[in-house]
Each structure stands twice: as structure tokens, then as C-alpha cells.
């Protein structure tokens, strides 16, 4: 009897924690996305093609004479930026699993195995550094007709082009690398076998962004274009490749914001349902999944509607 009571109490506590975390996440998500929407409307109401306003729209050719170098891979390119994406094969702890919580996964960030909840880092140990690290190298002097672009804007310029390597280049890189390097599809694989990777193995992709025509909505500071600091505190710049009108730039950003909002709402809905499932798993033996879905959906709907109204009308 006491064991059953303890199990029910523990399940209820965990369920309340999960549902509470879902409610807090709902508030953060709705607030963040609503602030971004307000920032976009603020830009729409103030942007102009005239150069004497603080927020301007401009279409032109972004270019540079600078040669960028990634010395680790002996790359030299006349480009706006060079991007190096790196993933490392690591242990990850999945707390939603009752058993076998530690799984192997690719991650672009170092997972600190010393923070695993069951103090199992001695068995499931990750490296504390990447032999090759992610980075973005931007040109220091990008001209945009009569303007210059800030590093924050350069990093957002689209149309990245994959940098490929010949067999001779890979052979040369292997001569100075501690880890074996080989081509695996679009990626460089650091390790013995890409089909059966080991903890600490790496996957690397390198990109260049060439000079190109772009459309930008940004804040003008002298002859420098930089992200606009909205009244919400958000730093915003809208940029697309090619000729895109003011309304199209803003409409595309609004659509993306709406899609992001529903993506995060659905994730939070699943969290709420999981919390309800945790509660019903020991409280009831019948129709557990259907009851959890109904309860989780109802709690999510109530939290979303209340927070939605609070942010917009209070």
C-alpha cells in the first residue's frame, strides 16, 4: 500500500514538473515570437528606400577583394564568408527513457558527460574538446555599392556553396592530421570508419559564400548597414539573395515566424501530453494514452490561449 502511494506521489510530482516546464516554455515561446512579430511590424512601418531614414531597404551587389583563409584545411577563397560546420559523435542522456538512457548521437556542441544525472560519466565519457571546431570567417571589408556591411549582416547572407576536396588534397591533409580524414558524401569524416563511428569522431562540412546581389532591410549608421535595434530589444535584419521587394522581405519573415510558432507549440503540446501520460501511468490502468492526449491537449490549449491573450491585451 505504501509503495503504491509513493509511486503515485512520485509520478504526480514528475507530471506537475513536466507540465509546469511546458507552461513556462509556452510563455517564453509566445513572448519571443510575439516580440519578433512586433519588431517586423515596426520595421514595416518605418522602412523606406530613401537613404535619409534610420531603417532602409537596399538592393545591390555585395562584394569584396579580400581572400579568406581557413588554414586548418588550406583553403583560400575570394568570398564574403567561409563557414565550417562540425559535428562530433558523443554520448547523450535521454531522460524520457526508463532504460538505456545513454545513446550515441552526432552533435555540433560538446555534450558534458559529467552532468549526466546518474553520475555515469566514467562509463559514458565524452571528449571535452573538438579536434576541429566550428567557425565562421567573414570578410572585414564587404562593400555594398556605397555602403559597407556589418559582420552580423555578412553572416546572414545566404547561398552557401559546398567546398569539395580532391583525393590529393585529402592525402595532403592526412599528412598533418592526428585523425584519419576521408570523404564521406558531402562531408569530411575524421575517424577510422564512417559506417561505424567511435565516440570523438568528427564530421565536417565547409562552405563559401561568394559575392552576389542581395536585398536588405537594415539600420543605416553613416555608410554602415547594421541590424536594426527594435523597441522590443531584438536585433533584426532581413536579407535574401537576389531582388526581393520590401513587402516580400517582410512577408517572408512573418511567414517564417508563424511557422516557427506552430513548430514550437506542437513540441510543447507533446511535452504536456507526456506529463499527463506520466501521471496516468500509475493512477489508472485503462485508456492511458487517450486520456493523456486529451488532458495534455486541454492543458496546452488553456495555457496557450491565456498567455496569447495576456501578451496582446494586457
How much is the average pLDDT of 220-247? 92
* pLDDT for residue 97: 65
> What confidence category does residue 285 fall into, taking pLDDT thresholds of 50, 70 and 90?
low
Predicted confidence at residue 4, as pLDDT, reads 63
Q: Residue 73: its pLDDT value, please?
A: 94
Query: For the residues 274-280, what does the mean pLDDT come to?
Result: 80
Digit-coded pLDDT (tens) for 180-215: 999 999 999 999 999 999 999 999 999 999 999 999
**Does residue 1 register a pLDDT over 60?**
no
Residue 252 has pLDDT above 70, yes or no: yes
Q: What pLDDT digit, counting tens, does each position of 47-99 carry? A: 875 554 489 999 999 999 999 999 999 999 999 999 999 999 999 988 766 57
Task: Give the model's pLDDT for residue 296.
Answer: 82
Mean pLDDT over each residue of the chain, to the nearest integer: 87
Q: Is the pLDDT of residue 45 over 90?
A: no
The confidence band for 303, taking pLDDT boundaries of 50, 70 and 90, is confident
Q: Which residues of 295-313 are buried (b: 16+ CB within 10 A; e: fewer)?
A: bbeebbeebbeebeeeeee
* 246 pLDDT more than 70: yes
Q: Choose between 46 and 150: higher pLDDT.
A: 150
The predicted structure's pLDDT at residue 147: 93
pLDDT bucket at 226, cuts 50 / 70 / 90 = very high
What mean pLDDT do residues 90-116 have? 85
Provide the whole-model pTM. 0.78
Residue-level pLDDT at 98: 59
pLDDT tens profile 169-178: 999 999 988 8
- 285 or 116, higher pLDDT: 116
User: Residue 6 has what pLDDT?
Assistant: 66
| Confidence category of residue 250, pLDDT binned at 50, 70, 90 | very high
| pLDDT at residue 121, rounded to an integer | 65
Average pLDDT (35-48) is: 87
**Interval 278-295 mean pLDDT:** 73
Amino acid at each position: 500500500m505504501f509503495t503504491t502511494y509513493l509511486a503515485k506521489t512520485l509520478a504526480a510530482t514528475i507530471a506537475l514538473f513536466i507540465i509546469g516546464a511546458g507552461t513556462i516554455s509556452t510563455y517564453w515561446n509566445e513572448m519571443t515570437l510575439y516580440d519578433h512579430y512586433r519588431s517586423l511590424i515596426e520595421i514595416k512601418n518605418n522602412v523606406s528606400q530613401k537613404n535619409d531614414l534610420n531603417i532602409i531597404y537596399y538592393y545591390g551587389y555585395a562584394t569584396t577583394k579580400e581572400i579568406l583563409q581557413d588554414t586548418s584545411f588550406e583553403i583560400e577563397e575570394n568570398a564574403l564568408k567561409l563557414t565550417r560546420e562540425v559535428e562530433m559523435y558523443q554520448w547523450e542522456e535521454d531522460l524520457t527513457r526508463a532504460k538505456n538512457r545513454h545513446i550515441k548521437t552526432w552533435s555540433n556542441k560538446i555534450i558534458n558527460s559529467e552532468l549526466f544525472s546518474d553520475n555515469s560519466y566514467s562509463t559514458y565519457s565524452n571528449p571535452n574538446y573538438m579536434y576541429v571546431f566550428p567557425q565562421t570567417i567573414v570578410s572585414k571589408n564587404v562593400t555594398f555599392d556605397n555602403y559597407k556591411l556589418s559582420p552580423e549582416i555578412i553572416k546572414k547572407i545566404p547561398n552557401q556553396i559546398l567546398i569539395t576536396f580532391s583525393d590529393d588534397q585529402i592525402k595532403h591533409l592526412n599528412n598533418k592530421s592526428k585523425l584519419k580524414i576521408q570523404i564521406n558524401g558531402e562531408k569530411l569524416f575524421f575517424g577510422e570508419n564512417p559506417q561505424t563511428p567511435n565516440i570523438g569522431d568528427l564530421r565536417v562540412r565547409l562552405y563559401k559564400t561568394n559575392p552576389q546581389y542581395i536585398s536588405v532591410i537594415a539600420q543605416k549608421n553613416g555608410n554602415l548597414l547594421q541590424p536594426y535595434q527594435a523597441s522590443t530589444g531584438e536585433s533584426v535584419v532581413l536579407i535574401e539573395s537576389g531582388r526581393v521587394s520590401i513587402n516580400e522581405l517582410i512577408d517572408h519573415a512573418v511567414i517564417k515566424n508563424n511557422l516557427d510558432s506552430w513548430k514550437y507549440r506542437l513540441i510543447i503540446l507533446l511535452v504536456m501530453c507526456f506529463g499527463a501520460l506520466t501521471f496516468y501511468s500509475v493512477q489508472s490502468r485503462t485508456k492511458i494514452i487517450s486520456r493523456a492526449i486529451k488532458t495534455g491537449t486541454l492543458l496546452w490549449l488553456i495555457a496557450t490561449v491565456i498567455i496569447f491573450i495576456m501578451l496582446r491585451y494586457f
